Chains A and B, each alone.
Chain A
């Protein structure tokens, strides 16, 4: 009796990896999923933070996909290791700070390490040739296989017929005839296959599953790096870039102003790490202050904070300043007019 082969599938939570996994499961291969958390994944974070998103389901799509497929899912924290991918991408960035090709190589390499440690035979991805402008092109697919070290143990079931046969196909672990030849940006073949398998509810992320593909987010990250003079970052930095209105009135300090209640609650958790302020004479947002601020800077920050509260038209507003050590003081300021906040202050 032939040994049952084992594969690990990179599960993003989207339709393609779900289909690719199902295609291989249908051939009798034992499949488990793996999902890498870089810190920039769109999954989860913002839904948890913003109150306006409360109506959206909080489900983690990769877990949901694994459950639909009936497979185990291993979620791996790669936050630290991913820093080098982002800071020094060998193949450069996409339209924003998205190092998609290096990212794919990194993840396939991590999956390769995982199959070696866990005695699995090959790796599956949901890649489709020509689907993504950077990482899923005919020219880059061999690059991913080679530079990740996965080589012939990397199988892309949805477009395998457009590529040379890999080890799982040549060895007869999977039947190449039952794989696919999808290519291009059309989603119709995937949707047809989803229908065949009875998948009706699946995530359709617009613009991918990574914050680094987002122009606004990337600008905030560049601003952070420029202000610090280096490209170091921690997970908290990455999360705070997703939250609030970011205003930099001076090169040496930035304000993160909550835009609604959910963000305010989230920022509360950082009051031990940052100077923070909020209006006390009127309702208004919580603001975190990042940088070294003089008394004059605090005055300016309070005027800006007051601008975004109910006292924006008042002559004087009382603002409470909370220091990380727990001490507090109050100041009175006149809120800035809208036209007194230059557009270039907004990050």
Chain B
């Protein structure tokens, strides 16, 4: 399973969502994308974006560095 990483740190919503959307457009169904963010708003926004656009949220967690990691799988 290939996974790409997107660094969206220091960006405030909706920019992490826009960057995620633009990256996903270039990916294939089944591929995974890990988005690293610092805006807590992504914990709501990226899952919502996944739901409405048919992608699967695999994980959304916060780490001890004040970062939020969202992993999604590109839908068909």
Report if B31 contacts A (CB, 8 A).
no
Alpha-carbon distance between A239 and B13 when the two chains are bound, in angstroms: 12
Inter-subunit contact B51/A48 (CB<8 Å)? no
Least CB distance from A14 to B in Å reads 15
A59 at the interface (CB under 8 A from B): yes
Check A72 against B52 for contact (C-beta < 8 Å).
Answer: yes
Given contacts A73-B49, A73-B52, contact A60 B12 (CB under 8 A): no
A45 touches B13 (CB 8 A): yes
CB-CB under 8 A from A49, the residues of chain B are 12
Pair B49/A77 contact, Cβ less than 8 Å: no
Does A346 reach chain B (CB closer than 8 Å)?
no
Please name all residues of chain B whose beta carbon is closer than 8 Å to the beta carbon of A41 when the two chains form the complex: 14
- Chain B CB within 8 A of A63 CB: yes
Asked whether B51 lies within 8 Å of A58 as measured between CB atoms, the reply is: no
Chain A, interface SS category? mixed
* B10 and A269 contact, CB distance less than 8 A: yes
- A66 contacts the other chain (CB 8 A): yes
Task: Say whether B12 contacts A48, CB under 8 Å.
Answer: yes
Q: Are B53 and A72 in contact (CB under 8 A)?
A: yes
The residues of B that contact A67 with a CB separation of less than 8 Å are 48, 51-52
A342 at the interface (CB under 8 A from B): no
A161 to B11, CA, bound (A): 42
In this complex, what residue of A is CB-closest to B46? Answer: A63
Chain A residue at minimal CB-CB distance from B53? A72
Q: Mark B6-28, 1 if CB is under 8 A from A, else 0.
A: 00001011110110010000000
Give the total of B residues in contact with A, Cβ under 8 Å.
21
Nearest CB of chain A from residue B64's CB, rounded to whole Å: 15
Interface size class of A (residues with CB under 8 A): 20 to 34
Residues of the B chain whose Cβ atoms lie less than 8 Å from the Cβ of A338: none
Q: Which of chain A's residues have a CB closer than 8 A to the CB of B41? A: 44, 47-48, 58, 60
* Cβ-neighbour of B17 out of A63, A70, A72, A239 (below 8 A): A63
> Does A121 sit at the interface, judged by CB under 8 A?
no
Within residues 29 to 58 of chain A, which ones have a CB less than 8 A from any CB in chain B? 35, 37, 41, 43-45, 47-49, 57-58
Which chain B residues in 33-57 approach chain A with CB under 8 Å? 38-41, 43-45, 48-49, 51-53
A77 to B13, CA, bound (A): 12
Cα A265 to Cα B67 in complex, Å, equals 13
A59 to B47, CA, bound (A): 10
Question: Once bound together, how far apart are the Cα atoms of A145 and B52, in whole Å?
Answer: 29
Distance in Å: Cβ of B49 to nearest Cβ of chain A: 6
Contact B48 A64 (CB under 8 A): yes
| A63 close to B18 (CB less than 8 A) | no
In the assembly, what is the distance between CA of A35 and CA of B21, in Å?
13
Q: A47's closest neighbor in chain B, by CB?
A: B41
In whole angstroms, what is the CA distance A66 to B48 when docked?
Answer: 9
Please name all residues of chain A whose beta carbon is closer than 8 Å to the beta carbon of B51 when the two chains form the complex. 67
Q: Tell whether A37 pairs with B18 under 8 Å between CB atoms, given A44-B12, A48-B12, A63-B45.
A: yes
Chain B proximity mask over A136-163: 1 for CB below 8 Å, otherwise 0: 0000000000000000000000000000
Residues of the B chain whose Cβ atoms lie less than 8 Å from the Cβ of A77? 15, 18
Say yes or no for A293: interface residue by CB 8 A criterion: no
Report yes or no: B40 in contact with A58, Cβ–Cβ below 8 A.
yes
Contact of B44 among A60, A62, A239 (CB under 8 A): A60
A75 contacts B53, C-beta separation under 8 Å: no
Cβ contacts under 8 Å, A57 to chain B: 44
CA distance A204 to B44 in the complex (A): 19
Q: Are A48 and B39 in contact (CB under 8 A)?
A: yes
- Chain A minimum-CB-distance residue to B10: A269
Cβ-defined contact, A48 with B49, below 8 A: no
- Supplied contacts A43-B14, A63-B49, 6 more A-B pairs, CB within 8 Å: A44-B45, A58-B45, A63-B45, A75-B17, A75-B49, A265-B66
Counting from the closest, the 7 A-B pairs by CB-CB distance are: A44-B13, A58-B41, A63-B48, A48-B39, A60-B45, A59-B44, A45-B12
